[in-house]
């Protein structure tokens, strides 16, 4: 049921409007050390662009049923350059899913849960296959 993910995101927007603030608040509450990466993003444009890219990636999966491995690898590599740990990169998609699920409440269906979990598993499986060696990663850089 490919449409479950995009339907859940559409419903999130209908219920909550722009979820950017909520998703980043969730991220900072779970991973407080990541907030310092956005210290220079005074107008939230970096956060907005990052969330837009994540939504485009998720929606492409919802439409096609496969993740875009090239884009995912590139996006991950870019984030590693900013000091985002390999094991933390993929959790942004989990945060989006959690925000959608929490806002939908009783409207969240088993099919939505299953498709989101399938998406997250595919992302995690692919990310576990690619490894950037430790010496190529610089110290954290703020956006």
pLDDT at 90: 86
Query: Per-residue pLDDT for 138 more than 70?
Result: no
d(CA 80, CA 122) in angstroms, rounded, equals 20
pLDDT at 141: 56
pTM for this predicted structure = 0.86
pLDDT at 31: 94
pLDDT at 135: 44
Q: Are 48 and 108 in contact (CB under 8 A)?
A: no
- Spell out the residues 6+ positions from residue 124 whose beta carbon is closer than 8 angstroms to its own: 90
pLDDT, tens digit (0-9, with 9 covering 90-100), for 7-43? 999 999 999 999 999 999 999 999 999 999 999 999 9
Using CA atoms of 108, 111, 114, 118 in order, give the dihedral in degrees to the nearest 10: -120
pLDDT, tens digit (0-9, with 9 covering 90-100), for 83-108? 778 778 889 999 999 999 999 999 99
Phi/psi at 43 (5° precision): -100, 10
Q: What is the mean pLDDT of residues 125-138?
A: 66
What does the radius of gyration of the chain's CA atoms come to, in whole angstroms?
15
pLDDT top residue among 76 and 132: 76
């Amino acid at each position: 049921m490919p449409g479950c993910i995009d339907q859940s995101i559409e419903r999130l927007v209908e219920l909550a409007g722009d979820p950017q603030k909520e998703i980043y608040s969730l991220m900072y509450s779970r991973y407080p050390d990541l907030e310092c990466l956005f210290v220079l993003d005074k107008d939230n444009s970096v956060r907005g662009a990052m969330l837009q890219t994540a939504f485009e990636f998720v929606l492409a999966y919802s439409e096609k049923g496969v993740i875009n491995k090239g884009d995912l690898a590139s996006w991950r590599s870019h984030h590693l350059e900013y000091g985002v740990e390999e094991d933390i990169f993929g959790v942004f998609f989990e945060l989006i899913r959690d925000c959608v699920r929490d806002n939908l409440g009783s409207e969240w269906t088993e099919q939505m849960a299953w498709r989101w979990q399938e998406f997250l598993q595919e992302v995690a499986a692919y990310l576990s296959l690619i490894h950037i060696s430790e010496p190529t990663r610089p110290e954290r850089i703020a956006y």
